[in-house]
């Protein structure tokens, strides 16, 4: 009825209530909106703690996020990066990317720290090295279409974009589920797998 999308409405709320340049407060404001106003498929605070723990343990210098959506996960990742690290995030929907860009910059992250790339992941991944300067990713966070998880993991492998000992963190592999991705990760012999139990966001 308003002519604006849920994502845009959420951003307007964040813009009105969050402290600019304070990533933690921006995430909290998003959470308030999602709990009390409208549901968004953001990572949310519960699964967010898992992401924060992995960042703390791994201290990755090059991070790739597949599925920017509104920028919630991007801000979550960016605030946990060690000094000098860089985050590349890919979003296929230009409307979501437009919202995410504003959220990321509102949180205080420059293009030197966070680069938002708009386009389908299967088209962007093969050109990450020559077009965007990503030599190898230390951590990959998958939170886009579940059916794309396996295809994109194999693309990252075939283009040698995974650093030795890289961590792949994939959301919602049990529900809605990414069974082919999970089967491959468990049986291909390249990865040690751990499933983190969590509730659905909000």
Q: What is the CATH number of the domain that holds 142?
A: 3.40.50.150
With respect to residue 92, please indicate whether it lies within any of the assigned structural domains.
yes
With respect to residue 199, please indicate whether it lies within any of the assigned structural domains.
no
Report, as residue numbers or ranges, the catalytic residues. 143, 146, 171-172, 201
With respect to residue 97, please indicate whether it lies within any of the assigned structural domains.
yes
For residue 115, give every residue at least 6 positions away whose Cβ sits within 8 Å of its Cβ, in sequence order, or none: 86, 87, 88, 89, 132
With respect to residue 181, please indicate whether it lies within any of the assigned structural domains.
yes
pTM equals 0.97
With respect to residue 126, please indicate whether it lies within any of the assigned structural domains.
yes
With respect to residue 51, please indicate whether it lies within any of the assigned structural domains.
yes
Count structural domains, the chain: 1
The band of 7, judged by pLDDT with boundaries at 50, 70 and 90, is very high
pLDDT, one tens digit per residue, over 64-82 is 999 999 999 999 999 999 9
Mean residue pLDDT across the chain: 96
With respect to residue 133, please indicate whether it lies within any of the assigned structural domains.
yes
pLDDT at residue 199 is higher than 90:
no
pLDDT score of 86: 98
Would you state the torsion angle of the CA atoms of residues 181, 184, 185, 189, taken in this order, to the nearest 10 degrees?
A: -170
With respect to residue 171, please indicate whether it lies within any of the assigned structural domains.
yes
Which DSSP string corresponds to 142-196? E-S-GGGHHHHHHHHHHTT-EEEEEEEEESSIIIII-HHHHHHHHHSSS----PP
pLDDT at residue 3 is higher than 80:
yes
């Amino acid at each position: 009825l308003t002519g604006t999308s849920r994502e845009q409405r959420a951003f307007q709320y964040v813009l009105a209530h969050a402290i600019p340049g304070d990533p933690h407060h921006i995430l909290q404001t998003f959470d308030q909106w999602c709990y009390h106003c409208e549901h968004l498929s953001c990572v949310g605070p519960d699964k967010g703690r898992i992401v924060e723990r992995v960042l703390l343990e791994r201290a990755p210098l090059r991070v790739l996020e597949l599925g920017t959506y509104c920028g919630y996960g991007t801000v979550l990742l960016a605030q946990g990066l060690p000094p000098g690290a860089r985050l590349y995030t890919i979003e296929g929907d230009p409307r979501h990317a437009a919202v995410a860009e504003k959220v990321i910059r509102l949180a205080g992250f420059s293009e030197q720290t966070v680069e938002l790339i708009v386009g389908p992941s299967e088209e962007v991944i093969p050109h990450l090295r020559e077009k965007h300067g990503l030599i190898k990713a230390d951590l990959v966070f998958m939170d886009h279409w579940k059916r794309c998880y396996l295809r994109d993991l194999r693309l990252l492998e075939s283009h040698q974009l995974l650093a030795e000992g890289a961590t792949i963190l994939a959301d919602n592999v049990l529900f809605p589920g990414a069974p082919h991705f999970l089967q491959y990760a468990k049986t291909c012999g390249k990865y040690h797998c751990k499933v983190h139990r969590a509730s659905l966001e909000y």
